[in-house]
Amino acid sequence: MNTTQTAGYSTDRQSVISYLGIGSNLGDAVQNCRNALREISSLKNVQVLRRSSLYRTEPVGETPQDWFVNGVVEIRTTFTAPQLIKALQWVERAMGRERNERWGPRTIDIDILLYGQEIIKTQSLVVPHPGMHKRRFVLAPLNEIAPYVIHPLYGVSMKGLLDRLEDDHAVERIDADW
């Protein structure tokens, strides 16, 4: 049994594999993603297992803004999903994230895409991420590290979702390590 104490949480539970989407389009977006990954890696209840390449991605939504840099990481965590989202929001705030506008520019954005095969719908958290199956900027990097993971709501692999995707927003792999 794994028992740890982190950020005020006592955890007596088995670990869960989770996938996180990380993105930025303000300042040095690549460095912002690197910094977010470093902060996530430093969380005591989180172990980063794999990370995708970084991708330069066309913004979605009505607001004119710079292109994003996006990537996906696979983690193992003993946080519950609500504890994990609180920890990730703490990382966002520490990095200067301000929530001013939906789909607007941001220093950093960290989303829980999948939390094991759990389906969670509360006021503060929806998992799987409700838009992930419609977004090339999520599915392209996720397919790089987890093409055969099954979406718990649709019963389709990430590769299957990407193959069927109608989103035509540009997503280009960039040569930057993080």
Q: 167 catalytic, yes or no? A: no
Q: 97 catalytic, yes or no? A: yes
Catalytic residue among 34, 51, 56, 109: 109
Catalytic residue among 56, 106, 135, 136: 106
Domains defined for the chain, CATH in brackets: 3-173 (3.30.70.560)
Question: pLDDT tens-digit profile of 31-68?
Answer: 999 999 999 999 999 999 999 999 999 998 777 889 99
Q: CA-CA distances (angstroms) from residue 69 to 31, 122, 171, 176?
A: 10, 28, 9, 10
Is 50 exceeded by the pLDDT of residue 83?
Answer: yes
Provide the terminal-to-terminal Cα distance of the chain, rounded to the nearest Å: 32
Is 50 exceeded by the pLDDT of residue 1?
Answer: no
Q: Calculate mean pLDDT across residues 82-105.
A: 85
pLDDT band at 103 (very low <50, low <70, confident <90, very high): low
Q: 56 catalytic, yes or no? A: no
